[in-house]
Amino acid sequence: MVKFLELAQFFERLEGTTSRLEMSQILYELFSKADKEEIDKVVYLTMGELVPSFRGLEFGVSEKLVMEALSKACGLKLSSVQKLYKDLGDVGKVALEVLKREGKGLSVSQVYEELYSIARAKGTLDKVMLLINLLRALSSVEAKFVVRIIVGNLRLGVGEATIIEALALLLGRREYKQMVERAYNLCSDLGLVAKTLAQKGLQGLAEFKIQPGYPIRMALAERVASAEELIRRLGRCAVEAKYDGFRLQIHKKGEEVYIYSRNLEPMTEMLPEIKQAITKIDADELIIEGEALAVNEQTGEFYPFQITIQRKRKYNIYEYSKEYPLKLFCFDLLYLNDEDYTTKAFIDRRKKLEDLITFGNTLELSELRIVQSAKEVEEFFEDAILRGLEGIMGKRLDAPYTAGSRNFNWVKLKRSYKGQLADTVDVVIVGYFYGRGARAELGIGALLTAVYDPSSDTFKTVSKVGSGFSEEEWISLKKMLDEIKLDHKHARVDSLITPDVWVEPKYVITVSADEITRSPLHTAGKTGDEPGYALRFPRAVGFVRLDKRPEDANTVEEILRMYQIQKRISVE
């Protein structure tokens, strides 16, 4: 059994070092002293908390209240304690200064219980009373750490990784670290891992299982720069729309639902419509992941991220859920009825997910396509960008769900925000696409555009353009283009893409773009098997340039030059 004073002395030793190796040694010593009933509490307190943060238990005690409690516990005037706080800037140092006494020798478990009562108490008055009582039983060094824990500022510099190392040492070998990590990744609760290890040893860790109600640490994606790189890394793979909302991991346990954010904060109460939709899934126990997004129900378009994120506020939840209902785009299944799905191949998890998510407005499957060439990736990417998404995700078909790690099992290919081409580009419209969503009504949603190649006197495609025009502009554009529409590709147009409607290359528009990329989809600058060049994230500037002829558009050579310049700039 560890006395709280001993714990405080260990904390002082931890405070005195910045070496991680030394910290894990000190922690190893501390954990070895703790018995199996209290080791979880020792771990939580060392991390400055009472329970893992996904439980959402907060003290709700401000520095100001701590000053009040200290003043009552030591008999000093409140103004003197406050002055001291102003001078020292740390509640811990104030406690050390004003409480000059021996403690009553409480154990870690006793102090933990008291702290727990403070966190659970409803009113401020109750909290302060409980704190005064606790402070009266503590020595100054104990109080120093207690008040720091209460205001959420323990500052020992001990991270999860150091605790994991210390727990591995407890098992006898550093190499056991991976087993500790695995268990942690499956429950996000180092107290539980420590307790399992203390009670059941190595075998307990080896048999450690996912439990609904304990979040799994989320798998993260690496970034790729192009469609080619995506295929090079993943081979034949799945690509999915990348939704710009917030990631959720949702647990269902009988009638209970628990929802966690990407940082593993509890979100259940903020998302009533998602909670309700999940209860309807036909499964006793379930863990899925998805991205939540506010969608305009009239137009089917996504609201900007700022609207979606409003839900993270803690008030007016109900009103928001009515005004901006969220949709959850489900993309992974991690657990189903006592079966761990994280070890299964992505494609098998997805198949099962498709069986489960079959109904309703709130839950949808993420849009997915199986691809095997850079061309297909680029097509999917362009379409996603045109629809206002932030990019795409690529997923290896045979990969397990790697909890708590970032690797190339999942990659993201994002629209670039970084640069913007120094120059705008003039392009010729060679066709158009019918719109989707709100644009469907207009009958036009994007243009296929090209640059001029004087050597062959042809127009080579360089981009789809789907943004920058107002609704009125789209309407007049459609009218103008319908007057010059063709039932086949124009002889002077060189294109691998087939738009819904071909038009005579006549009208020039000016577009700005983030950058020029290599693309197997477009013919501008394409030679043999080498990819062509494309504008990334293009948007129209102004309306049709009636002052320009199609041959006045930028040329393929100019695009190549812009690409070279951009490369030089990024190298510099």
CB 352 within 8 A of CB 329: no
Residue closer to ligand AMP, measured from CB, 331 or 341:
331
Candidate list 144, 195, 242, 526, residue with the active-site label: 242
Please, where are the H alpha helices in 227-373? 227-234, 272-279, 305-309, 317-323, 346-356
**Which positions lie near ligand AMP, rule CB under 6 A?**
221, 240-243, 247, 262, 291, 331, 366, 393, 412
**Residue whose beta carbon is closest to ligand AMP:** 247
Query: Phi and psi at residue 540, in whole multiples of 5°?
Result: -70, 145
CA distances from 144 to 5, 43, 48 (A): 11, 18, 13
Nearest distance, CB of residue 222 and ligand AMP, angstroms = 9
Residue closer to ligand AMP, measured from CB, 93 or 247:
247
Angle at the Cα of 277 from the Cα atoms of 369 and 320, rounded to 5 degrees: 100
Residue closer to ligand AMP, measured from CB, 191 or 394:
394
Other Cβ atoms within 10 Å of 235 Cβ, number: 11
Dihedral of CA atoms 391, 396, 402, 404 in degrees, nearest 10, equals -20
Is-catalytic flag, 242? yes
How would you write 102-136 as a 3-class SS string?
Answer: CCCCCEHHHHHHHHHHHHHCCCHHHHHHHHHHHHH
Q: Which of 15, 177, 45, 200 is nearest to 115 (CA)?
A: 45
Nearest distance, CB of residue 412 and ligand AMP, angstroms = 5
Residue closer to ligand AMP, measured from CB, 40 or 291:
291
Hey, what are 553's tokens?
């558009």
Residue closer to ligand AMP, measured from CB, 113 or 390:
390
CB 540 within 8 A of CB 445: no
Nearest distance, CB of residue 395 and ligand AMP, angstroms = 7
Hey, what are 130's tokens?
């409980």
Residue closer to ligand AMP, measured from CB, 170 or 241:
241
CA distances from 31 to 42, 79, 172, 375, 432 (A): 8, 40, 13, 55, 68
Nearest distance, CB of residue 307 and ligand AMP, angstroms = 17
Helix H or strand E segment including 430: strand 425-433
Pairing of β 326-336 and β 339-340: antiparallel
| 3-state SS class at 41 | helix
Nearest distance, CB of residue 291 and ligand AMP, angstroms = 4
Residue closer to ligand AMP, measured from CB, 385 or 393:
393
Beta-bridge mates of residue 249: 260, 289
Residue closer to ligand AMP, measured from CB, 13 or 412:
412
CB 412 within 8 A of CB 242: yes
Helix H or strand E segment including 84: helix 78-88
Pairwise CA distance, residues 55 & 32, whole Å: 27
CB 492 within 8 A of CB 458: yes
Hey, what are 186's tokens?
């499956």
CB 252 within 8 A of CB 441: no
Residue closer to ligand AMP, measured from CB, 110 or 402:
402
Nearest distance, CB of residue 289 and ligand AMP, angstroms = 7
CA distances from 417 to 97, 166, 285, 377, 551 (A): 52, 42, 41, 20, 30
Query: Side chain identity at 353, as an amino acid letter?
Result: L
| 3-state SS class at 260 | strand
CB 293 within 8 A of CB 327: yes
Q: Which residues are catalytic?
A: 242
